[in-house]
């Protein structure tokens, strides 16, 4: 018999966060989160997303043991302002038992019907900056800190419970040696002259901070047309600023501004922390922080996390300016491999940006949807 219990206490939420550590203890490819950071994500007093969203967390028990978990999420900005009647769910993990996954997903569906929502979709997080999608290919590749890893059997559970594919994502990589300056060196010089643009270089985090709010505004503008988009609010900007920016090497943050110092393009790259996080095993202390700092300084692998261009400057070659800046930085740091975060398969504009580097898809993931009517 499966028992579903809502995780409301600190102890329950810690159990919620730590369940995958047990489920993936023998996996070479799963990358554990930092437990403290994950708990803060679910803390209604610390994460401002709860001003515009609500979430409930559930654990599945069988014979007294935790055998699954799920987060049920309603983003009211999405529901009320965009009129997208979506019941979100994420952090959906379970043993290979259809009764377990069914009990969890039916709990989410019941909440969705209670709110008179039209359909449920997942796995997704609270917003566009959260993890997305269940992995459907690439199980023998090391995951990243910004994606969920899962066992191959997950997909069968979605289908067994009446879910169909909603969105498709691809993750790709390319060796840095594929990056040939001939594709952007001369172009970026011409583009900077034509549109009176300049690239900003940073060596300290405090130099980045005055531009971060503008970066999130530009993110909202440049990603608004995507099917998965939900706006980032002002209070969320402050939260993400503290959570992410200090974690990123300032030299890996590139901004492009016009003659009036208006931000018209940005990109954020992160060191690939996967191996360091595996060594940390969810804890920053006593040694986890050391592994992460070492990776931050010395990793020869990087992840392109975000790139955004102001709509009026899209298709004008601004990405060439950004790529030129990264080329110089990566050459200096002897970077070997570049990875890209999950990108929507129907985002053809982003595919055009990367085509010259001959990226190879190494993993795919999908979100699944079910009508609640």
Task: For the chain, give every domain's residue range.
Answer: 2-170, 175-363
Residue 313 carries which DSSP code? G
Using a 10 angstrom Cβ sphere, with 0-12 exposed, 13-18 middle and 19 or more buried, the burial of residue 194 is exposed
Closest to 365 (Cα-Cα) out of 334, 344, 336: 344
Regions of the chain with pLDDT less than 50: none
* Confidence (pLDDT) at 62: 97
Q: Are 188 and 324 in contact (CB under 8 A)?
A: yes
Handedness of CA 281, 283, 286, 289 (dihedral sign): positive
Q: Which CATH superfamily is domain 175-363 in?
A: Gcn5-related N-acetyltransferase (GNAT) (3.40.630.30)
Alpha-carbon Rg of the chain, whole angstroms?
A: 21
For residue 227, the model assigns a pLDDT of 62
Task: Render 253-282 in DSSP notation, one character per residue.
Answer: EEEEE-TT--EEEEEEEEE--HHHHHHHTT
- Looking at the DSSP bridge assignments, the partners of residue 54 are 74
Residue 5: which residues within 8 A CB-CB, separation 6 or more? 12, 58, 59, 61
Q: Where are the alpha helices (DSSP H) in 245-357?
A: 274-280, 288-298, 318-333, 348-354
* CA 204/CA 78 separation, integer angstroms: 36
Tokens of 26: 């023998």
CATH 3.40.630.30 given to domain 2-170: yes
Give which of 119, 127, 150 is closest to 368, Cα–Cα.
119
Please tell me the predicted confidence (pLDDT) of residue 47. Answer: 92
What does the buried/exposed string (b/e) look like for 20-51 if buried means 16 or more CB atoms within 10 Å of the residue's CB?
Answer: beebbeebeebbbbbbeebbebbeeeebbbee
pLDDT at 350: 79
The predicted-structure confidence for 315-344, as pLDDT tens digits, reads as follows: 899 999 999 999 999 999 999 999 999 998
- pTM here is 0.93
Tally of CA atoms within 13 A in the half-sphere of 356 that contains its CB? 10
DSSP string over 224-239: TTSTT--PPPHHHHHH
Structure confidence by residue, pLDDT tens digits, 259-301? 999 999 999 999 999 999 999 999 988 888 899 999 999 999 9
Token pair 């580097």 is found at 357
Q: How far apart are CA 144 and CA 30, in angstroms?
A: 8
Q: In sequence order, what are the beta bridge partners of 361?
A: 172
Give pLDDT, residue 246: 75
SS3 360: strand
Reduced to 3 states, what is the DSSP secondary structure of residue 287?
coil
DSSP for 154-194 reads HHHHHHHTT-EEEEEEEEEEEEGGG--GGGTHHHHHHHHHH
Q: Are 97 and 62 in contact (CB under 8 A)?
A: yes
Domains 2-170 and 175-363 share a fold: yes
N-term to C-term CA, the chain: 28
Looking at residue 298, what is its pLDDT?
93
SS3 content of the chain, % helix, strand, coil (to 5): 40, 25, 30
The answer to whether the beta carbons of residues 244 and 181 sit under 8 Å apart is: no
pLDDT value for 290 = 93
């Amino acid at each position: 018999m499966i028992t579903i219990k809502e995780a409301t206490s600190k102890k329950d939420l810690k159990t919620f966060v730590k369940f995958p550590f047990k489920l993936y203890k023998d996996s070479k490819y799963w990358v554990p989160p930092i437990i403290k950071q994950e708990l803060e994500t679910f803390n209604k007093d610390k994460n401002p997303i709860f001003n515009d969203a609500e979430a409930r967390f559930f654990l599945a028990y069988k014979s007294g043991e935790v055998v699954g978990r799920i987060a049920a999420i309603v983003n009211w900005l999405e529901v009320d302002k965009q009129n997208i009647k979506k019941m979100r769910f994420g952090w959906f993990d379970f043993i290979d038992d259809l009764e377990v996954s069914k009990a969890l997903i039916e709990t989410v569906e019941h909440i969705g019907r209670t709110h008179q929502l039209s359909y449920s979709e997942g796995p997704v997080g609270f917003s566009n900056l959260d993890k997305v999608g269940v992995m459907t290919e690439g199980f023998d590749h090391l995951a990243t800190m910004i994606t969920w890893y899962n066992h191959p059997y997950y997909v069968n559970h979605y289908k067994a419970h009446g879910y169909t594919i909603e969105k498709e994502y691809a993750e790709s990589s390319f060796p840095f040696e594929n990056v040939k300056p001939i594709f952007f060196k001369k172009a970026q010089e011409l583009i900077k002259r034509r549109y009176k643009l300049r690239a900003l270089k940073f060596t300290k985090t405090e130099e980045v901070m005055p531009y971060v709010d503008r970066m999130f505004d530009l993110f909202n503008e440049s990603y608004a047309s995507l099917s998965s988009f939900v706006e980032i609010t002002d209070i969320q900007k402050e939260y993400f600023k503290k959570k992410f920016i200090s974690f990123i090497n300032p030299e890996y943050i590139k901004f492009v501004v016009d003659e009036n110092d208006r931000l018209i393009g940005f990109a954020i790259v992160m060191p690939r922390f996967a191996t360091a996080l595996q060594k940390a095993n969810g804890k920053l202390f006593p040694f986890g922080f050391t592994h992460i700092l070492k990776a931050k300084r010395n990793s020869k692998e990087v992840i392109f996390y975000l790139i955004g261009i102001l709509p009026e400057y899209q298709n004008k070659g601004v990405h060439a300016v950004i790529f030129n800046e990264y080329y110089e930085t990566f050459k200096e740091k002897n970077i070997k491999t570049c990875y890209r975060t999950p990108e929507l398969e129907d985002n053809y504009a982003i595919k055009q940006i990367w085509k010259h580097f001959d990226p190879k898809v190494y993993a795919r993931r999908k979100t699944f949807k079910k009508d609640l009517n």
